[in-house]
Amino acid sequence: MCGIVGYIGTQQAAPLLLEGLTRLEHRGYDSAGVAVLGGSGLKVAKRAGRVRDLADGLPKRFGGKIGIGHTRWATHGPANDVNAHPHTDELSRVAVVHNGIIDNAAALRAELADDGLVLTSDTDTEVLAHLVARSSAKTLEQRIAEALGRVEGTYGIAVAHADFPDRLVVARNGSPLIIGVGDHEMHVASDLAALVRYTTTVAHLDDGEMATITAAGFSTYRIEATGLAATDRRAKEVDIDPEAYDAGEHDSFMHKELLEQPARAEAVLRGRLDERFGTGHLGGLNLDARELRAFRRVKVLGCGSAYYVGQMGASLLEELARIPADAEAASEFRYRNPIVEPDTLYVAVSQSGETIDTLLAVQEVQRKGGRVIGLVNVVGSAIARQVDGGIYLHSGPEVAVASTKALTNMFLAFGMLAVQLGRVRDLSIADGKRLITGLTRIPEQIDQVLATEADLALVAKRLAEAESLFFVGRVRGFPVAREGAQKFKEITYRHAEAYQTSELKHGPLALISPEVPTVAIVPDDELVERNVAALHEIAARGGPLVVVTHDSVDLGDLESLVVGRIDVPRNERELDPILLTIPLQVLAYHAALELGHDIDKPRNLAKSVTVE
């Protein structure tokens, strides 16, 4: 979480830092701050609230051609001016911005306090500024390495020091940092979004790596117990359109990204479907047919929406490849001392490729000899570089906190993986061709769902009135319900709970009332009659019903009791879950709009979760 920017060059730093922070605000928006280094030394300005609040209060004379900035998602201490980054030492010679969590911060703070230092903030980050300032090493790099040697935890840091006015120093361990190469200037950021306006030539730091950045270029080092060892980090061009980071005519990034889904779905499928043999063509897996066939189980690891789409994917894999498959929250995986088997294929799912819980789970699997592939959207991200192979999602930049187009492409990636794995096992060529045809139809069918946005907005207005909601579904429909509840919670701040439809009568039915709507996922499948019967139980207790279904489903006398019926196009039964998910995204968006919320920046959340 949180966002870091840095600049060194020939221009005034402050405007560039503020622009970069605005583009990173989806990574944290509790507070923001900047520090610039000029002829009169180090100047710091920081403020609770949004970046615009910081910009409005910035002093007129705030000059300097070197600077760092930060937009915060609070971990240690509340969101206020004092806890905002950058943090400085007693003499304001050192300024530090930091993403991550220092696990032994309390012990370090106590040690500094025992030495007579009065700390001014509640943060873990402040100790870094004091440790760097108190080092007597000759170079700034050595001082920072010495300070980081005292630290336990994760960090992405950028440091400016008044005694070293020709450089910035950055370091990474578990939290992303990217160096951008310009013309006689250099940039730093925790996300490409802050860089693409100025350069598309970038270098990603690895964990345990430090970089010295001057206006002329950069040098990188590995932090080792014996000192700093030079590394040969090279900058590379990234293929990205700066306009992709602009909302354009849309009132929010989420709305823009909702409507981009048909085109992005085509992008992830392009060149990866073998219609002749009814299979997927996923060369990035780095697995041949013999290796694929040797796996006896699949374990999917993800967090939040990636976990829920992982459940959809596990169902696909089990159904099509006839191989045991399940999904697990990556945040819990390594803490239960998991059994990692050599014949299990592990699949890590992350839009950002920087989700720390998922990255740590990947590393745990690899430490125990397991094979991990990734479903990742961001090229060059930590998970993308860590895994043994994978499928890039080609969703384009996703800025809104609530995932839409990346989630859709995760499902399609699972669809292709399930078909390819199935075809080396027991899936017939006829079924393979059937599913490949189904996958090719999905972009157009998503477009058909989005064309009903006005009707969905009316249903969403009704749901926005409720303080609490249920989302229910069975088998393939249950992860759809979980993802629908997640979207509603994220951006409407309404309580939304997902249950298997069959589990309602085992407790939750006690909460059904006219004030608690239920959004039911009812595909036209082998369970349609049982689903409709369960909806009668809800209606009998006065619970308002919104049914997401297919036009072929006959609700019978229940039809008159439904406050909203949403029909989506039918595909193959195995692929229907993603089409049933799209209207839930639109419902959440319009309900949040009706409630007047900041849709792209929901309270207490941030886009990239880089802390445990």
**Cα maximum dimension of the chain:** 82
Q: Are residues 354 and 459 in the same domain?
A: no
Q: Are residues 187 and 64 in the same domain?
A: yes
Q: Are residues 341 and 282 in the same domain?
A: yes
CA distance 27 to 401: 8
Number of domains in the chain: 3
Other C-beta atoms lying within 10 Å of the C-beta of residue 236:
12
User: Which of 189, 216, 239 marks a domain boundary?
Assistant: 239
522 closest CA partner among 461, 464, 475: 475
CA distance 248 to 256: 8
Asked, for residue 244, whether it belongs to a domain, the answer is no
Q: Are residues 466 and 438 in the same domain?
A: no
Query: What tokens does 456 get?
Result: 């969905």
Asked, for residue 374, whether it belongs to a domain, the answer is yes
Asked, for residue 246, whether it belongs to a domain, the answer is no
Cross-sheet strand order for the sheet of 217-224: 87-88, 94-99, 155-161, 168-173, 209-214, 217-224, 227-231
Q: pLDDT tens-digit profile of 555-604?
A: 988 888 899 999 999 999 999 999 999 999 999 999 999 999 999 989 88
Q: Are residues 228 and 265 in the same domain?
A: no
The secondary structure element, H or E, covering residue 3 is strand 3-8
CA distance 134 to 124: 17
DSSP state of 534: H
Are 386 and 338 a contacting pair, CB within 8 Å?
A: no
Over pLDDT 90: what percentage of the chain?
84
Q: Are residues 206 and 313 in the same domain?
A: no
Q: Are residues 530 and 420 in the same domain?
A: no
Q: pLDDT tens-digit profile of 27-65?
A: 778 899 999 999 889 999 999 999 999 999 898 889 999
Q: pLDDT tens-digit profile of 219-265?
A: 999 999 888 999 999 999 888 777 788 888 999 999 999 999 999 99
pLDDT tier, 79 (very low <50, low <70, confident <90, very high otherwise): confident
Give yes or no for residue 349 having a pLDDT over 70.
yes
Asked, for residue 475, whether it belongs to a domain, the answer is yes
Q: Are residues 158 and 138 in the same domain?
A: yes
Give the pairing type, strands 518-522 and 468-473: parallel
pLDDT, mean over the chain? 94
Residue 402 CA to its chain's centroid (Å):
9
Are 550 and 520 a contacting pair, CB within 8 Å?
A: no
409 closest CA partner among 401, 400, 397, 421: 397
Asked, for residue 208, whether it belongs to a domain, the answer is yes
Q: Are residues 468 and 525 in the same domain?
A: yes
Q: Could you tell me the residue range of the domain that residue 421 belongs to?
A: 252-450
Q: pLDDT tens-digit profile of 454-477?
A: 999 999 999 999 999 999 999 999
pLDDT at residue 610, as a whole number: 66
Return the active site residues: 2, 607
CATH of the domain at 91: 3.60.20.10
Q: Are residues 99 and 130 in the same domain?
A: yes
CATH of the domain at 446: 3.40.50.10490
Q: pLDDT tens-digit profile of 200-215?
A: 899 999 999 999 999 9
User: Which of 450, 465, 488 marks a domain boundary?
Assistant: 450
What is the mean pLDDT of the segment spanning 277-286? 94
Q: Are residues 234 and 256 in the same domain?
A: no
Give yes or no for residue 421 having a pLDDT over 90.
yes
Are 566 and 459 a contacting pair, CB within 8 Å?
A: yes
User: Which of 420, 450, 480 marks a domain boundary?
Assistant: 450
Q: Are residues 259 and 234 in the same domain?
A: no
Burial class of residue 601 (count of CB atoms within 10 Å of its CB; 0-12, 13-18, 19+) = buried
The secondary structure element, H or E, covering residue 159 is strand 155-161
The upper half-sphere exposure of residue 508, i.e. CA atoms within 13 Å in the direction of its Cβ, equals: 21
Asked, for residue 480, whether it belongs to a domain, the answer is yes
Asked, for residue 545, whether it belongs to a domain, the answer is yes
